[in-house]
Each structure stands twice: as C-alpha cells, then as structure tokens.
Amino acid sequence: MRYAETGYNLEIDLTRGNIERVETDPRLTELHLGGQGTAAKILWDRVPPETDPFSPDNLLIFSTGLLLSTPVPGANRTAVNTISPQTGLYSHSLFGGFFGPELKHAGYDKIIIRGKSPSLVYLYINNDKVELRDASHLQGKGALETGALIKKELKDQEVQVVAIGLAGENRVYSATIEHHNSSASRGVGVIMGDKKLKAIAVRGTKDINIARPAELFELCNNMYQYIHDNPHYTGDIMAHEDDEEFHVDNFAWGNARTRVKGFWNKEREEKWKAISDKVRVRWTGCYNCPKDCHQAIKYPGRHTYFTKCYSKLTYAMAAFKELDFDYDILGVTQEYGLDGFSTPQILAFAVELYEAGILTDQDLPGFPTDTGERFFYLVEKLVRREGVGDALANGVYWAARQIGKGAEEYDHNSIKKFEQVPLKLGMINYPYFLMYATGEKMNITQIEGSYPQIPIADLEERKKFVDNWEAAPERFKKWFMEWEPRQHPTIEASVNICDWNETMHYVDDAIGTCAWLSSFRGQFGGRPAYHIYNLPKFISLATGMELDTDELWKIAARNRNLIRAFNIRRGLRRVDEAPPANHWKIRDPEKEQQTLDAYYEFKGWNKEGIPTKETLDKLGLDYVSEDFVQRGILTGNEGAPSKETSAETEKN
C-alpha cells in the first residue's frame, strides 16, 4: 500500500487524444519525495536538451506535493514544471488553493501533458473518469471566468479548475495559470496555451492512506493550533498589510528603476489602508491552512479577483500611481492571465522606450498621455500580440532585442532573460546576490525567505529578535549578531545563508508545504512552524518512510543538483550568473566573484558552476555524471568536496 501519495500519474497525449493511468515507482518517492523533485526527474529522463520549449515533446507537469491531502496544515502547493521559451531553461511555478488536494483525492499525484491538441480543449477528471472536452466555447474567456463557466457546465461547484486566459492562448511569455485565489506564475501558462489546453477541471472523492494516522493527527492538530494562535502566521499580521514602507522605499518604481525614497508617510499609509478596506471582500486561505493571506477584491467595474503580498503594489509602482490603480488594472490582467511581477515591468519598459523616442506614435497609434491609461492601452496590445505588443509579449529581454534601436539599454532587470523583483538598494547584499545569480527557479521570490535582508541597528532589539530563532543553527544567530549596519556578512555567512534559504524551498516544493510557514525563524521574526528539524517527523508519519534531518537535507540537495544539471545540459554557465548591473548602487565585482567561487566550492561544483562527478555520484545522481561525461561537460576526473551533503544541519 502507498501512503500519502496515490501511486498513479495521469499521462495525457494531446496530439493523439490518448489518456493513460500509469503506476509510479515508489523508489522515486524515496529519492525525490514528490512535487517538483519527482517532476525534475521526469523532465531529465524524457525531455532531451535540444528540445524546443514549443515542441510537442516538451512536457507540462502538474505535480502535487507529497503531503497534500494529508492532515498536515498548509500542505496544498502544486508545482508546475516545463521548459521556458523565455529562458530556454527549467521553468518552475507553485500555486496553492484547492486544486492539488482535489487531484490527489481523484487518485493522481501528477498530470503529465505532452503533445499539442489540434483545437482548444479542456481536461475533465472525475475520479476514474478522465476525458478531453471541446473548449471552443471558452476561447477568449477570462481565466477565472473560465473556471466559473466550467463549474456551471458540469453542474458541480465543488470542481477545482485551473485555466489560462487570453495571454496563454496567444502564447504571451508572462502568461499565468489561474486557480481560485492562487496563480501559477512565472510564465508557465504560455506552454499550456501552446498545447491548446484551456483548462483542467478536477473532482475527487477518494481517500488518501496515511501510515500512522493517529500520531499524525495529534501532531497536526497541535501545529494547526500553533499556527492559528500565532499572529506572525495568521491573518492578524495582515492588520499591518498596508504598512508598505519597506517595499515602496526600497524597491524600484518603474522599469527605469527609479527609487522614490521617502515616498512613504503616515498620510499615504492611512490612504492606502482606506482603499484596501473599501475594496476587500474578505481574507481567504488555501486548503487546510489557518493562515488567511489572500485578499478577495471587488473593485468597481471589475469581477472579483485575488491578491497576495507584493502583487498588490506592482502595477502602481511601475506606473508611478497610487494603490487604487493597482486594484483596477489587476481586475483586467488577472482575467487575461498575466504575471503580476513581470507584466508591470514590461509595460513600464514600453513607456520608457516611447519617452526615449525608440518607440513612436507610428508604433503606438493613439498612445495616451496619462501613464495609467498607457498601461491599459499596452495590456491590450500585449495580450493580443498586436503591433509592438507582439515583441512585448516575449518579455523585456527579447523585446529589447527585437525592437533594437538602443532598446537593449533599457533592459534593466533581467536575470537569465527573465524579469526579477525590482529591487533597488544602496549597497550590495551578498546572500541575496547569490540567490539572484545562482537560482534555478526563474525568480528570487522562489528562493528567499529565511534570513533578514538588513541587520537591526539596536543591539538589544537584535538579540531579542534572534532569541526567537529556536530552530536556527547557532552559526546563523552568531552571524546576525555580528552583522552591523552598512557592513557585509562574511563570505562564509553569505554562502550558508543562501544555501539554507534555497534548501528549505526545495523541501517545501517537494512536500507541498507553503513557504510562508517554513524557515528557522518564522515570518517577521516569529517562532517557526515547519523547519528542517521537525519536518522529517511529519513526512515519516504520513508516508511510513524512515527519514531524519540529514536524509531530508540530502534529498533537497539531490533535487537542487538535478535541476542544476538539467539547466547545465541546456547551456547554463557561470557567465549567466549575475544580477542586473544596477540592483545595488555600490558594487564590488571582485568580491562578487570571490563569493561566487566560494558558493560553487561549498556546493561541490567546479569553477563553471557545474556539479562535479564526485558530488553527483554522492547524491545518487550517477546517471547525470555519466551523461555529462558522454557529452563532454565533465571530463570524468573532476572531483570536489561537497559540504552541502554532509551533516549540514547540525545545530552548531
């Protein structure tokens, strides 16, 4: 009997219209857990490095985390993995809501989609009944609108739907896959649209087997109560949601990366809070999670939609507008299925080019004078790929090179050809330099989280803050206590901080727990819910696997190195690993390279950032090292100690 997982995947060939229910190998669960871990193995095995992202041979994989549909609170994340046409590399997105647990209850851990449908279709899953249905009547419909229409068509409001909007249908690179209060962003919707798959609707009523249910329920009830009672995790913290001083004073406004220091004040805070309170219908959460961190928004003239965290600011910041503009335009872009981080920067980039004379009235006929109206104008061009919108739809990096005439100089914020969070700080932060430069997962928002970006000036406050880090190795406490304002952490500290952050995310992405509940210090300095020391018990009770902290760390390292290898095989090298030139005003190129050297050495990689044969073999990735030797990527004689696979999680 399989515990915590169903043991079956759905294989969908859209070209042939073929549907298969395939039993999976339990050994892969032991090696990679689930979620993006096992998805990475499937992509490595079945998608050769020469595969074009728009090839029928590219896969689009929806993977439930290992602990979804178990009693574990906050375990609701589904990973979406494919190859990105924007970067040519591994593409990773996560979303919460209710889709993943419903898929598990229908009897499937994954949906693996290949091929291309000759016409627009949607996939309907109702336990053992699985079929492809005509979706021509849904063409051009909004992403959330599509979900509502499918539920009505099926006469079942309990069906969970993921869908693309017009952006996905027209293969806009920043297209999302929308689901209820959550979104699979970072451009995975473009592949769903390329395959002419409008939506997936799932209904499931099957049970999930748990290895030791009584013990797990007791543990989970305690955790649920802890999260519910802790204001650092629950909706109580959202009372401070409109205090956005850090974001608006330290993040860039507009693609030109102009920081408006001092923009934030008490008057603006009260004004923004009043706007939010007026348009907010309610706070909402995901499956089996007591943390209500999504806002349901009803803006005048718009359908109800959802926001979370920084996305409520991105359009307003890019357009130099107040918060009500963001709420207005999100009502349009979310139905179109557009990424709330990338799209504002693409629109601001186009405005910049117009103001610089690179784009003209001939390119943008009838272009408005007001920046906000310009954004609405450009959204319509982009989502339909009309005129210059055809280039903008490919993201800032590619649009700059298609437009030419000096537009490349306005590509301010791409890493590996992908738009990043528009950070604009004074002095370089080396842990975050490493996260930006070396991350495999499209965007730093999928890597950061555990360690503060700046030190606390007051020593007593700093000590009080660190005392809450009950699950932190002592070295992290020591480094934070020694970190003075306007000083850098050591290279050793920077490497370890980056490594810890990404490792915790690779654990979360495999088991499906929300990163908001995970780290060694908790969000906003609160005491932690999930961390590397208590997660093995949750996993063991749910699955029956014998797992300790060191083995969990090793699995995360295995998944991280496998995804690294996937990208290396597709051409990624050290030269690609640098954040945008003006992310930080004060830079030290020599120390940046020293830090990168130290990080590569720590991970057991060579100077090009390629995992050595010794590192790969130690992690059970010998098939990867053999492939690298055959391709000439490695010589077969390289070796280096890999510190990340040792007892890295020791308290001291």
**Least confidently predicted of 174-183, 258-267, 282-291, 365-374:** 258-267
Which tokens in the block code for residue 405? 């005439």
Q: What is the pLDDT of residue 255?
A: 59
Q: 132-159: per-residue pLDDT in tens?
A: 999 999 999 999 999 999 999 999 999 9
Q: Pull the structure tokens for residue 46.
A: 């079945």
User: How do beta strands 110-114 and 8-13 pair?
Assistant: parallel
pLDDT of residue 37: 97
Model confidence at 386, pLDDT cuts 50, 70, 90, reads very high
In the chain, the percentage of residues whose pLDDT exceeds 70 is 90
Residue 373: how many other CB atoms lie within 10 Å? 12
pLDDT band per the 50, 70, 90 thresholds, residue 454: confident
- Three-state secondary-structure class, residue 297: strand
- For residue 638, pLDDT beyond 70: no
Q: How far is CA 86 from CA 82, 94, 312, in A?
A: 12, 18, 25
* pLDDT value of residue 334: 94
- The confidence score (pLDDT) of residue 122 equals 98
pLDDT of residue 484: 87
For the chain, the average pLDDT equals: 90
CA distances, 557 to each of 294, 357, 633, 636 (Å)? 31, 48, 20, 21
Arithmetic mean of pLDDT, 594-617: 97
Structure-model confidence comparison of residues 516 and 458, the more confident one: 458
pLDDT score at 170 = 98
Q: What is the mean pLDDT of residues 170-199?
A: 96
Query: What pLDDT, on the 0 to 100 scale, is given for residue 110?
Result: 98
Using CA atoms, how far apart are residues 243 and 19, in angstroms rounded to an integer? 50
Is residue 257 over pLDDT 60? no
| Length reported for the chain | 652
Please tell me the predicted confidence (pLDDT) of residue 645.
44
pLDDT value of position 547: 94
The Cα–Cα gap between 420 and 578 comes to 12
Instruction: Please spell the DSSP secondary structure of 182-200, one letter per residue.
Output: EEE-TT-HHHHHHTTEEEE
**pLDDT confidence bin for 495, thresholds 50/70/90:** very high
pLDDT category of residue 121 using cuts at 50, 70 and 90: very high
As a whole number of Å, the end-to-end CA separation of the chain is: 39
pLDDT at 523 exceeding the cut of 50: no
Please tell me the predicted confidence (pLDDT) of residue 643: 55
Q: How confident is the model at residue 187 (pLDDT cuts 50, 70, 90)?
A: confident
Q: What's the pLDDT score for residue 517?
A: 84
Distance CA 606, CA 600 (A): 6
Sheet holding 160-163, edge to edge: 129-134, 121-126, 197-203, 160-163, 177-179, 182-184
Q: What is the pLDDT of residues 56-94, one digit of tens each?
A: 999 999 999 999 999 999 999 999 999 999 999 999 999
Average pLDDT over residues 208-227: 93
Q: How far apart are CA 114 and CA 116, in angstroms?
A: 7
Q: How far apart are CA 160 and CA 171, in angstroms?
A: 24
Judged against a pLDDT cut of 50, whether residue 646 lies above it is answered with no
In the structure, what pLDDT confidence band is assigned to residue 526 with cuts at 50, 70 and 90?
low
Give the pLDDT mean for 457-468. Answer: 87
Please say if the pLDDT value at position 236 is more than 50: no
Model confidence at 303, pLDDT cuts 50, 70, 90, reads confident
Question: 341 versus 551: which is more confidently predicted?
Answer: 551
Confidence of residue 639 (pLDDT cuts 50, 70, 90): low
When mean pLDDT is compared across 313-322, 504-513, 565-574, 599-608, the lowest value belongs to: 313-322
Q: Of 131-140, 511-520, 547-556, which range is least confident? A: 511-520
Quick one: pLDDT at residue 425? 72
Task: Write the pLDDT tens digit of every residue in 413-437.
Answer: 888 999 987 766 778 889 989 998 9
Q: Which domains does the chain have, with CATH numbers?
A: 8-203 (3.60.9.10), 244-289+292-419 (1.10.569.10), 425-645 (1.10.599.10)
246 residue type, one letter: F
Q: Any long-range contacts for 634-640 (C-beta under 8 Å, 24+ apart)?
A: 634/610, 637/613, 638/606, 638/612, 638/613, 638/614, 639/612, 639/613, 639/614, 640/601, 640/604, 640/605, 640/606, 640/612, 640/614, 640/615
Question: Residue 216 phi/psi, 5° resolution?
Answer: -65, -40
Residues 93-114: tens digit of each pLDDT: 999 999 999 999 999 999 999 9
